[in-house]
Amino acid sequence: METENCKKTALYEKHLKRKAKMVCFAGWNMPLQYDKITTEHITVREKAGIFDVSHMGEFTIKGKSALDFLQKLVPQDISKMKEGKAVYTQLCNPSGGIIDDLIIYRLQDENNTYNFLLIVNAANTAKDFDWIIANQDDTRNATVNDVTDKYSLIALQGPEAATILNSAGIEFGNHPKKFYLIETTLRDFKCIIARTGYTGEDGFEILIKNQYAPQIWDLLTEKGEPCGLTPIGLAARDTLRLEAALPLHGNDIDEDTTPIEAGLEWSVKLDKPHYIGKEVLQKQINEGTDKIFIGFKMLTPNIPRKGCELFQEGRIIGNTTSGSIAPYLNCSIGMGYIDKSASIKPGDRIEVLIRNKKYPAEIVKRPFYKSEKR
Amino acid sequence: MSQNQEIPENILCTKTHEYVIVEGNTATIGITQYAAEQLGEIVYVELSDIDTKIPKGDSFGTVESVKAASEVYMPISGKIIEVNERLTSEPELINEDSYNLGWLIKVEGEFPPEALEEMMSMDDYLAFIED
């Protein structure tokens, strides 16, 4: 339900015009769905979808010490990033727990010095900002700003996304590569186009000042229509990310789970100076963790949800953190944590407790779905 | 998402958005069009077995949308004599035609007027959901 106390994005009127079902999410009035969730989901897998994700938080960190500051905040090695690069990482607490996960973008230097953009989860924006500020030692040589309310973020995702961006005026040759960005113009409006997303498809995320967002939304919608592009709501965004086995903060990862436990070890670097949480993460990499993140596929049509207990040979071994039908795969899937003593090879059987009954499931490799085009 | 469906005569609705259509000793039970719209696209239905006796107010199954699972409750006491098998492969019938093809169960029992007293006519129900 739409509520009065929720903020409106610059694209709010566009959603009402398309008769979206609106919800208040993380303090923002957001489109939950415009059409059937499964239809929207399949449109993104087969054609393309456009998403208003302006609720996401955006911070800039600029200045001479911005690099050292970020190096201290996240387990990724930011020193390896050139201008125009993006990386997925986390903000960890001293126990290695994930305060939030985010993407850091290195923009073109400004005044001969570092210029970073951070895109964080909407529900965590205020908490993240406080954490970053609280951990800043050198306030003279790095400036942190929350620019969430000034910018809109439009995601264009799906196999046709690149073609649509091309017809909107960005030539293929100028497209950023996966996990890179370009600073360019669309219809003469300055914008940042990054080849990132949260759907498991090829696609782009476009950051643009609020006042230009409605025109860019219209431009992309118009250019995308011949390819079958439609607007997509938050509900399908969630099923898309789950099929792609991308973790959702607050469900699959939180302050009590580390990136190592969550299977995100690839994004944790030890060969860099000290950072918050490093000792714990180093120990877990060397010695292993007590719980292991897994994906499973139901062997019956029952739908697992967050918080279902998982069993193996009658013994409780863990809990689900996400679960849903997988509209593109035509089955039910889930992710969760299980004890290291359990047998978790792909193909191993587990049971999922759903409303007091156990149903069979099979451990499968993540992601559940992988785009051929990526 | 839902079309204008034909609304059967003698339909009675509950505050928890189930409906019942009584014909002698049998009754057809389902969820209202409004409930189906609120749930969104229904993708899975789980119903109690035939021959189960369930008292009024107890759950007789679960209706699941992409986002959530919702229990459905008996508006009257009765024994299940039929479940809508079509919903196994076509759960969307609940969204498309909740009062006809999208029924959930048929029960057998005694349904004296007192048993139906707390329920609302369709007109009263529509006024109730307006509030």
Q: Given an 8 Å threshold on Cβ–Cβ distance, is A36 in contact with B64?
A: no
Instruction: Kindly state whether A235 is in contact with chain B, defined as any CB-CB distance less than 8 angstroms.
Output: yes
Name the fold adopted by B11-125. Answer: OB fold (Dihydrolipoamide Acetyltransferase, E2P) (2.40.50)
Please give, rounded to a whole number of angstroms, the shortest distance from the CA of A233 to a CA of chain B: 13
Average pLDDT over residues B93-106: 97
Q: Given an 8 Å threshold on Cβ–Cβ distance, is A324 in contact with B66?
A: yes
Instruction: Kindly state whether B40 is in contact with chain A, defined as any CB-CB distance less than 8 angstroms.
Output: yes
pLDDT of residue A372: 82
Neighbours of A117 (CB within 10 A): 21
* Cross-strand pairs, A52: A154
Residue by residue, pLDDT tens for chain A (374 residues) are 555 789 999 999 999 999 999 999 999 999 999 999 999 999 999 999 999 999 999 999 999 999 999 999 999 999 999 999 999 999 999 999 999 999 999 999 999 999 999 999 999 999 999 999 999 998 899 999 999 999 999 999 999 999 999 999 999 999 999 999 999 999 999 999 999 999 999 999 999 999 999 999 999 999 999 999 999 999 999 999 999 999 999 999 999 999 999 999 999 999 999 999 999 999 999 999 999 999 999 999 999 999 999 999 999 999 999 999 999 999 999 999 999 999 889 999 999 999 999 999 999 999 999 998 64
For B41, which of A37, A301, A303 is closest by C-beta distance? A37
Q: For chain B, first and last CA: distance in Å?
A: 22
Q: How far apart are CA A37 and CA A25, in angstroms?
A: 17
CB A224 within 8 A of CB A198: no
What is the per-residue DSSP string for A269-315? --SSS--TTHHHHHHHHHH--SEEEEEEEESSS----TT-EEEETTE
In chain B, which residues have their Cβ closer than 8 Å to the Cβ of A38?
Answer: 41, 43, 66
Residues 6+ positions from A3 with CB-CB distance below 8 Å = A24, A29
Please give, rounded to a whole number of angstroms, the shortest distance from the CA of A280 to a CA of chain B: 35
For B40, which of A37, A239, A305 is closest by C-beta distance? A37
Instruction: Kindly state whether A327 is in contact with chain B, defined as any CB-CB distance less than 8 angstroms.
Output: yes
Residue A354: closest C-alpha in chain B: B69
pLDDT of residue B3: 52
Q: How far apart are CA A170 and CA A222, in angstroms?
A: 15
**To 10 degrees, what angle do helices A234-243 and A37-46 make?**
60
Instruction: Kindly state whether B66 is in contact with chain A, defined as any CB-CB distance less than 8 angstroms.
Output: yes
Q: Given an 8 Å threshold on Cβ–Cβ distance, is A355 in contact with B64?
A: no
Instruction: Kindly state whether B50 is in contact with chain A, defined as any CB-CB distance less than 8 angstroms.
Output: no
Instruction: Kindly state whether A38 is in contact with chain B, defined as any CB-CB distance less than 8 angstroms.
Output: yes
pLDDT of residue A3: 59
Q: What is the pLDDT of residues B41-77, one digit of tens each?
A: 999 999 999 999 999 999 999 999 998 999 999 999 9
What is the number of CB-based contacts under 8 A between chain A and chain B? 32
Q: Is the peptide bond before A273 cis (omega within 30 degrees of 0)?
A: no
Instruction: Kindly state whether A301 is in contact with chain B, defined as any CB-CB distance less than 8 angstroms.
Output: yes
Instruction: Kindly state whether B90 is in contact with chain A, defined as any CB-CB distance less than 8 angstroms.
Output: no
Residues 6+ positions from A71 with CB-CB distance below 8 Å = A77, A78, A79, A272, A273, A275
Q: Given an 8 Å threshold on Cβ–Cβ distance, is A303 in contact with B43?
A: yes
pLDDT of residue A252: 98
ipTM of the complex: 0.84
**H-only helix segments in chain A:** 12-17, 37-46, 66-73, 125-134, 161-167, 213-224, 234-243, 278-287
State the pLDDT confidence band at B131, using cuts at 50, 70 and 90: confident
The distance from CA A296 to its chain's CA centroid, rounded to whole angstroms, is 20
pLDDT of residue B2: 45
In chain A, which residues have their Cβ closer than 8 Å to the Cβ of B43?
Answer: 38, 303, 325
Q: Given an 8 Å threshold on Cβ–Cβ distance, is A37 in contact with B68?
A: no
pTM attached to this predicted model: 0.94
Please give, rounded to a whole number of angstroms, the shortest distance from the CA of B91 to a CA of chain A: 12
Chosen from B63, B66, B85 to mutate, greatest number of chain A CBs within 10 A: B66
**E strand intervals along A81-188:** 86-92, 98-106, 115-120, 143-146, 151-157, 181-186
Residue A234: closest C-alpha in chain B: B67
Residue B41: closest C-alpha in chain A: A36
In chain B, which residues have their Cβ closer than 8 Å to the Cβ of A21?
Answer: 40
Q: How far apart are CA A299 and CA A286, in angstroms?
A: 35
Q: Given an 8 Å threshold on Cβ–Cβ distance, is B43 in contact with A302?
A: no
Instruction: Kindly state whether A245 is in contact with chain B, defined as any CB-CB distance less than 8 angstroms.
Output: no
In chain B, which residues have their Cβ closer than 8 Å to the Cβ of A301?
Answer: 44
Q: Given an 8 Å threshold on Cβ–Cβ distance, is B66 in contact with A235?
A: yes
